Structure formats: structure tokens, C-alpha cells
Chains A and B, each alone.
Chain A
Amino acid sequence: MDAIETTCVYCGCGCGLYLHVENNRIIAVTPSMKPPASGRLCAKGWLLHGFVNHPERLREPLIRRGDRHVQTSWSEALSFIASSFAEIKRDYGPDALAVLTSAKATNEENYLLMKLCRAALGSNNIDNVARLCHAPTLFALGSSLGSGSMTNPIESLLYSDVIMITGSNTTEQHPAVALHIMEARRNGARIIVMDPRRTQMAEIADLHLQMRPGTDIALLNAILNIVIQEGMIDEEFIRSRTEGFDDIRDRLAEYTPEVVERICDVPAELIRDAAVMYGGAEAAAIVYAMGITQHAHGTDNVQAIVNLALATGNLGRDGSGIYPLRGHQNVQGACDMGALPDYYTGYQRVSEFREKFEDAWNVELPVSRGRSAIEIMSSAGSDIRGLYISGENPALSYPDSSRIREALESLDLLVVSDIFPTETTRMADVILPVASFAEKYGTVTSTERKVQLIRKAIDPPGSALPEWVVAARLLEIFGVSSDYNSSADVMREIAALTPSYGGISHERLERGGIHWPCPTQEHPGTPVLYRDGFLRGRAVFRHVDQRSLDDERFTLIIGRSQYHFHTGSMTRRVSILERELPEAFVDMNPKDAAALGIRNGTGLILESERGTIRARARLSDGVREGILFMPFHFRESPANLLTKWQLDQFSKIPALKMVSVSIRREDA
């Protein structure tokens, strides 16, 4: 019997937990008493022992022969990959190659894959799943405040008087954050929820603004307008620490509660109450997630949040702040490690820091502009000919799935590493079996910028390898320096090249997680950003306007459920989680259902411009009339067959959150 402390693999909360191990098998999980878990886990965490030892784990490298995959050795697989990439590079140039890294992989792995893409393949075409969740956050918070990440640690919510939650089903998607919100509420904090659905948070909130989906900007602008009218802005903060307020002040005036009531379908009185509640708080926090970002105006949505927080001086103090909740264990880290087309590690721009990395790696690095994940997919088979996908399943998670499948099929070389066979590995030319989070050492960075260790508890199945070893071996084949004996060695290189990670080492993390920026070995880390000012000098306001909406009969909101994670490749193999939610559902208002003769459990056909899927209706007065909700975890009802390639102009995030659909009964 052994118990190994590590970090949960699922959401970005980064709960610490102990894996209880017997004979190289995980037999139980218990929470760590340290924050943010503080002795609690969600059901996915408690049942983490369910998938790691699953017999369907990929055990050996596989290579395509005709339409079958056959077992091969690591050395053969890797040299095939290297020579195929080299061939494509010779024939089409390095920009025909691309890498998509994984938000499930460690920082060290993301770093080495980034190095592989830039230093070995010679391409800036590298991106990660953040493109599909928080690219707008990176852009809006980055350009306004200086850093595109959560401003305060999760525990800081305990000091808030008011917590505004928008576009986040927090109890289901970020339970450890919900835990802190509920604890703050028990101690007197007031809660405002803005969501088209009546979520559990909405049930316990003081105010629930159940707006029409897609009207976030109008609502946030109206709130800020009222805050200004009521004289609740922080003039001193605005004067000394920001710029551009006067420009937006006048343009906000048209967002009166009465006008916005018509846009959002939320009573003007309720909007006013929310504004006064938020504006009157000593310390107020805004928590948001994919409901804000996954829109063609995602960056503007985030900017509206930034404007509100800046105008009320709610930054740089305990209890205040902006909380973009990250969906994956290490999606923050993947971005920090430079798995982005325009940045090296720690958001050092390719255009400014190329020489520094050339010197460090002793290679010439590409100058050409890198493509984002969506651009990589849209040019797959034409400009992009070879792609390495680490532990992601775009065949199910990206918009307009049929187009993605075609794109992946038209590549000359597709390499996919994963722990289980997925819809995407099926299309791969080479499948690499990698170690799961429980089978390797490394670091991950949670939503609160907290770098934490994951520790090896058991051996990987078959000949599966930690992905950092795979990346290091590929680097070696390409003749790029890769002299690492452990992932701790990789972190030493990261720290040397990345100011915000400068003081981070595995040795230090043994004693607990550290919030970046942490520039030196002596630095304690920075839980709260902007205490003494903004990185870019003054924070900037930018006015944003509500866009007009399509007037469709039904708007489908796409999200997740608390019992499954992403495309379900892990959670759908955990028998109890699968029992809790074995198939997709479509939440529908009973009035809409009655009008169409639909009952609980009726099979529905949903059709959009892009595709058609089937799922059962679930009647719920938690959604407004005209609104439908369904999760995207299920390959049998792949919601992303319906979504479109509509990109946000700044951040290139696709509008994955909602789509207009028509519905009919399956038997009709």
C-alpha cells in the first residue's frame, strides 16, 4: 500500500489528492487537505481510480498499414515520424508542419513539444486547446491589464463581499471554485449569477439575471452605465491606474436599463439591483468561463468584464479580481509554455525574443507567422501536410466536426499521442501510447497560476512512455540539444528562459505549489496580481458594443456536465460516471416541448446549417423558452457537428457556445 500526493487531471481547479496504490494499481482516491481542495473533491476526482488501469489503455506504438494499425517499436515509430516530417519539410517547407499540444500534458511536455515544433521542425505553427476556451481571455486581459490570466487565487474569493458569476456553471465545471464561493456566501458574501440557464449557482444566488444568450455585452455595459450614474466608480483608481475611461463613459450612456431590458429580456429593475450590488461592494470578484469566451465576440465579452472591474477599482486586492476559469488541468501551463503561435514561454513574443531562444537552443528559429489551431485545421491537406497532435481529440471537440475529419484525413502524416484510442487516433498514421498523469513526474499550472507537482504513482502500461521522453527522443533525432535525465531537468531549462517561472523548480514544489510570476529562487510567488500597479503601466479601457443576434426559433447552448470531461475518453470509461450520465440530453423548456408534442425522453433530431444529430429531450424549466442545452461529451450525439467556423476577429476562437438549430421529433 502506498499513497502518493498529486494533482487532479481533469479541470483547471488543480485539486490536490492522494492516489492510494496497491500492486501498481490505483485502488482509491482521497483529497489533500491543502488548498484549493482543502479536503474536498468533485465526483470525477473521487472516482479518478476508474480509468487509469483500464484494459483499453494504449500500450504499444501503432503504425498504419493500409486501413489497419499494427504494432511497432518505439525506435521504428520515432524514426518513421522524423523521416516523414523531414520529407514534408523538404518538399513543402517547414511551414507545412504543425503541432497541437495537450492541456493534459505537463509543463515540461508542452515546453519540449514547443521546442520540437520551433527548433526541430522549424515552424511556428503550434497551438493548444486554449484556442477553443480562453483565447479571448488571453487577448483581452493581456492587452488591457498586461497578463491574460486569473488575477487572484481561488482562496481570495473568501474575502469578497460580492461575487458575480457569468457564463459559468461553477458547481458542475469548477467545483473547487464553487466550494469557495459557497463558503464565502455562508460568511455573508452576496452572489449575482448572469446565465440563460438556472444553474445550481443561480438557485442559491441573491440575484439571477436569466438573460437571452449572447447578450452579455449589453448587460455588462448597462451595469457599468448604472454604476457610473450612481457615482459608484472608483475615481482615484481610474485616474491613477488606468487610461481611456472618458472615451467609454459617453458611449455607455445609450445602454440604459430600459433599452437593455429589451435586448436581454431581463427586467430593468433587476439590472439596476445587480449594478448597485456590484458597485457598492468593498471587494467584488467576477467569475466567468466558456459562456463568455466561446463566441465570435468573445474578446469583446471579456473586455466588457474588464471595463466593469477597472471602473470600480476591483483589481489588485484580496476579494476583488477577475476569474477566468480554466477548463483543463494544464491549459494555463500549455499557454505559459509557449504552445502558442506567437509566443515563446512566459508570453515572450516571437517577434522580440527570437534571438534569446536561438542562443539558448543553438539553432536558427523560424520567423514566419504561426497559425492558430483553427487555421491549422482549415489548411490541413493544403498548406499543412504534417501534424503532431498530443492527447487531444479534435474530431469531437472542434467546431464543424465533419470538416475537421476531412481535414485530418487529407494530411500526409498525422501523429497522435494519447492514453486511449479516440475518434482522432483512428485517423492517425502513427499512434503513440503515452503515460497518464499517474504514471509520470512533472508540473502543471492550474487556473489560479499555481504551479504544482504531479507525481508518479504507478508504472505506465505496456511500453507507454511519458510524453516528455518521446519529445526529447524526437529532438535528439533532429539533432537539437535534449540532454534531460528527468522532467526536473526540463524545468531547469524552462526556469532559465522564462522570467515568470525563474524561481520554480521541482525541489521547491515538493513543499507546495507556487503562483507565478516567481522570478527568483527566493521569491515567494505572486498569488494576487497588480497589487502595486499594472505590468503595462496603465490598464486600458476599450469600449465594446453589443452585436445584433440572429432571430432563430431555437438557440442551442453547448456545454458540459459535471460527470464527464471533454470528449469523455477518460470519464466514459469510469463505470459509475458513465452510469450517472450514459447519453446526451437536450434540455428544453416544457412550454416549447408541449407545443411540439415532445415529452421527457422523446428522441429529437437537431439540425443546423452544418449537420444533424440525435439526442433525447429532457424537460427542464431551468432553460428559457427558445433555448436548448446539450453537452458535447458524446460521440453518439456529437454536438460539434452542428457548430460553425465563425471566428472571433482578435483571438480566433470559434463560436462553440451556441448555434441556431431547428428540431423535430425523431418519429415525426
Chain B
Amino acid sequence: MMFFLEKKDLPELLRRAGAFFEIIAPVPINGEPQLVSWKGGDLALSSPNPLMPPTRLFLPPRETLFAYLQESGLYTFEVPEVGNRLIVGVRPCDLQALSMLDRIMLSDPADELYSKRRRSTAIIALNCTEPSDSCFCAQMGAGPEADEGFDLLLTDLGERYLLETGSPAGIMLANLSEELLERGDDAEKRRLMRESRERIMSARPWLSQDRMRSRLREIDWRSLSKECISCGGCSFVCPTCHCFTIADLGLPDGERIRCADSCILSGFHRMASGANPKARPEERLLSWYMEKLEHMLIRTGMPGCVGCGRCDRVCFSGLHRTDIFR
């Protein structure tokens, strides 16, 4: 179903949804868009996509799996609770990353916390009418328009939004604000999305998945990686990255935590003997791109890069420019 929603009415629609969900949305904090609990103030829906990918709400960079308490030799465990959430403003690239993560984290045996969070979260996606310079989702087949994976979908038409439903939960959410909605059509949206797609394509007309894959082994990773400081930033912001490590902190009481790990870091590859097959940054960078462009594709049927451009935004050495595939 398609509706028009006046921009000024979006907060009211969210407020009503707030009776059932914690609303998480991009909000300007000291001038920068951040994904936080929305408490009725300004939204940052027309800012660039926040650096922290929404996929990290399902697999946080640091989370407690459970706390353990020891009493006279017996252990009891406390598992964190998961509440209902509605994430607003998820971009098509991140939506695609999320469905790729689903194929990994929910395949047998499903990750318990991830699947709990996934089940209790609803999503209002946002099509991109104003892509950033670093975006190349169109070339990766991930954006700038979402076609599935959301409960509701917004497209900014200027004065108003086009609101589309994508699931029974989305229809229910729309029904809560029925009188704010007006039946609509997607003629304007289609025009805007065509323009947006063209903008992204024309910024890098030569870029394609095939192009990237065939260039992988030709790139001089060694000289490219000379300035890489192995900060891990590229993998910490990548919406499809999902490696983690687990540690037990504290004795006799404490907690088992899970935190984001990164194959960009050398210690990730070091073996128990001390030998390291990927001791040099150029080896790790190549393997990172192979993982994104080849291995994830084989494993999930979807490419591991959705073209969000975040790795480029945080890289010290500026080496994640798509130019390297030219």
C-alpha cells in the first residue's frame, strides 16, 4: 500500500509507534547524525548515513552474552533482556547488508541473541534521494532504492514522504496513524529514484562487481598499504562485517562478552605456534576484499560489499577509494 505523509506528521506517526517500540532514529548530536533513541526532537533523515551501521544494533561491537555469579561453588547466569525496537531511516545499502547478515547469523545453528533482536525489531527504511559522494550502492546492486526487507519505507518527495508498507507489521503501524495518511502513488518516487541511481552510476560509470573482482589480483596491494596503520576502522564500520571474539572477564564473578573483531588486524590471523600467514597489511587487505567480493558471495549468494562507502570515510590512508579498481 502507498500513502503520502506530510513531513510535519512523521514525528506524530513515530510517537504513536512509540507506544509499542523504543524508537531508534538518526538524530543530530553536536552537528553529526547518530543512531539513538528518539525522544521527540529533531531527526537527521536528510543527513548522510550515520557512520555506525544499523546492523550493529543487532550485533553490537561489544555486548554481554551473559553474566555469571558464583555462590558456594554454584554458578548462576543472567542473560540480558531484549526489548522491542523500531529503527527509522535505515538506508537500502544497510538493509541489504542486514539481509546478508541474516543468512549468516540465522543459518543453523542460529545465533540466539541476534535472532532475538532481529525478531523484536521493526524497520522503517528510507530511500536515498540525495546520495553522498562516497556512495556506490547502485553498482553493487544494493541501492539507492529498497525493494524488500522493511516494514515501512519512506521516500522523501520534498514537501512530503511517500510511505509504503512492506509487511503485516508495517500495515499495522500505518493503521495507527491512518488519518495522517493519504492514498498515494509512486510516480514521483520513480522519477526521483531514477535520478538518484543515475547520479550514483555517473560518478563511477566504470565500476561494477565484475570489474572489482577481476582487478583484485592486479592491484599493487603492497604499495597501496604502505600507509595503512591497521586501525581496523574499515571493518568496524562495514555493515557486512560480523567477525567477533568472545572473552570471559572477571573471576569468580564476571561476564562473558562478545566484541567485534577484525581480519584487518594482524593478531586475528596469528596461529598458536606464533606463525602468521597474513602478517603484512597487504596480505590482509587483499583477503578482506576477497572475503567481501568472492567468499561472501559464495556463502550467501549476496556480495559482501553493499557500496555504502563507510570504509573510505574512516580510512587513515585513503586506500579504500573505489579508484583502485579503475
Residues of B within 8 A of A171 (CB): 229
Residues of B within 8 A of A50 (CB): 62, 259
Mark each residue of chain B from 200 to 244: 1 if its CB lies under 8 Å from any CB of chain A, else 0.
000000000000000000000000001101111100110000000
Tell me, rounded to whole Å, the shortest Cβ–Cβ distance linking B155 to chain A.
25
Residues of A within 8 A of B236 (CB): 46
Residues B231 and A41 in contact, CB atoms below 8 Å apart? yes
A576 in contact (CB, < 8 A): yes
Residues of B within 8 A of A53 (CB): 62
Tell me, rounded to whole Å, the shortest Cβ–Cβ distance linking A294 to chain B.
23
Which of B4-12, B34-42, B297-305 lines the interface with chain A?
B34-42
B182 in contact (CB, < 8 A): no
Residues A580 and B52 in contact, CB atoms below 8 Å apart? no
How many A-B Cβ pairs are below 8 Å? 132
Which of A21-29, A137-145, A478-486 lines the interface with chain B?
A21-29
B57 in contact (CB, < 8 A): yes
A549 in contact (CB, < 8 A): no
A661 in contact (CB, < 8 A): no
Residues A27 and B62 in contact, CB atoms below 8 Å apart? yes
Measured CA separation A598–B233 after assembly (Å): 36
Residue from B22, B231, B315 in contact with A43 in the complex, judged by beta carbons closer than 8 Å: B231
Measured CA separation A183–B227 after assembly (Å): 10
Measured CA separation A579–B263 after assembly (Å): 13
Among A40-55, those with CB < 8 Å from B are 40-43, 45-47, 49-50, 53-55
Which of A31-39, A206-214, A278-286, A374-382 lines the interface with chain B?
A31-39
Residues of A within 8 A of B172 (CB): none
A18 in contact (CB, < 8 A): yes
Tell me, rounded to whole Å, the shortest Cβ–Cβ distance linking B273 to chain A.
9
User: Which B residue's beta carbon lies closest to that of A23?
Assistant: B80
B120 in contact (CB, < 8 A): no
Tell me, rounded to whole Å, the shortest Cβ–Cβ distance linking A259 to chain B.
35
User: Which B residue's beta carbon lies closest to that of A44?
Assistant: B231
Residues A581 and B36 in contact, CB atoms below 8 Å apart? no
Measured CA separation A31–B314 after assembly (Å): 8
A575 in contact (CB, < 8 A): yes
B168 in contact (CB, < 8 A): no
Residue from B37, B51, B245, B262 in contact with A2 in the complex, judged by beta carbons closer than 8 Å: B37
A5 in contact (CB, < 8 A): yes
Which of A174-182, A231-239, A532-540 lines the interface with chain B?
A174-182
Residues B245 and A576 in contact, CB atoms below 8 Å apart? yes
Number of interface residues of A (CB under 8 A): 52
Residues B229 and A18 in contact, CB atoms below 8 Å apart? no
Tell me, rounded to whole Å, the shortest Cβ–Cβ distance linking A11 to chain B.
13
Task: Given A31-B314, A56-B250, check contact A40 B62 (CB 8 Å).
Answer: no
Which of B24-32, B102-110, B173-181 lines the interface with chain A?
B24-32
Residues A40 and B233 in contact, CB atoms below 8 Å apart? yes
Task: Given A30-B52, A179-B316, check contact A203 B231 (CB 8 Å).
Answer: no
Q: Is the interface of B mostly helix, strand, loop or mixed?
A: mixed
Residues of B within 8 A of A179 (CB): 316
Mark each residue of chain B from 140 to 183: 1 if its CB lies under 8 Å from any CB of chain A, else 0.
00000000000000000000000000000000000000000000
Residues B231 and A55 in contact, CB atoms below 8 Å apart? no
Measured CA separation A2–B30 after assembly (Å): 13
Residues A40 and B315 in contact, CB atoms below 8 Å apart? yes
Task: Given A3-B34, A27-B63, A28-B60, check contact A55 B226 (CB 8 Å).
Answer: no
Mark each residue of chain B from 51 to 84: 1 if its CB lies under 8 Å from any CB of chain A, else 0.
1100011001111100000000000000010000
A562 in contact (CB, < 8 A): yes
Residues of A within 8 A of B247 (CB): 575
Residues A575 and B245 in contact, CB atoms below 8 Å apart? yes
Task: Given A1-B36, A575-B247, check contact A175 B229 (CB 8 Å).
Answer: yes
Residues B226 and A204 in contact, CB atoms below 8 Å apart? yes
A462 in contact (CB, < 8 A): no
Residues of A within 8 A of B257 (CB): 575
A90 in contact (CB, < 8 A): no
A188 in contact (CB, < 8 A): no
Can you report 28 A-B residue pairs in the complex whose CB atoms are below 8 A from each other? Answer: A3-B29, A3-B35, A3-B36, A5-B30, A18-B29, A22-B60, A28-B61, A33-B32, A39-B313, A40-B314, A40-B316, A41-B314, A42-B229, A46-B231, A46-B233, A47-B232, A47-B259, A53-B62, A55-B255, A56-B250, A178-B229, A178-B316, A200-B229, A204-B226, A575-B257, A576-B245, A579-B245, A581-B267
| Residues of B that sit less than 8 Å from A by CB | 22, 24, 29-32, 34-37, 50-52, 56-57, 60-64, 80, 226-227, 229-233, 236-237, 245, 247, 249-250, 253-255, 257, 259, 261-262, 265-268, 274, 313-318
Instruction: Supply 8 further A-B pairs (C-beta < 8 A) apart from A5-B30, A18-B52.
Output: A22-B60, A30-B50, A46-B233, A47-B232, A55-B253, A172-B229, A178-B229, A576-B259
In order of increasing CB-CB distance, the 4 nearest A-B pairs are A55-B250, A3-B34, A580-B267, A575-B247
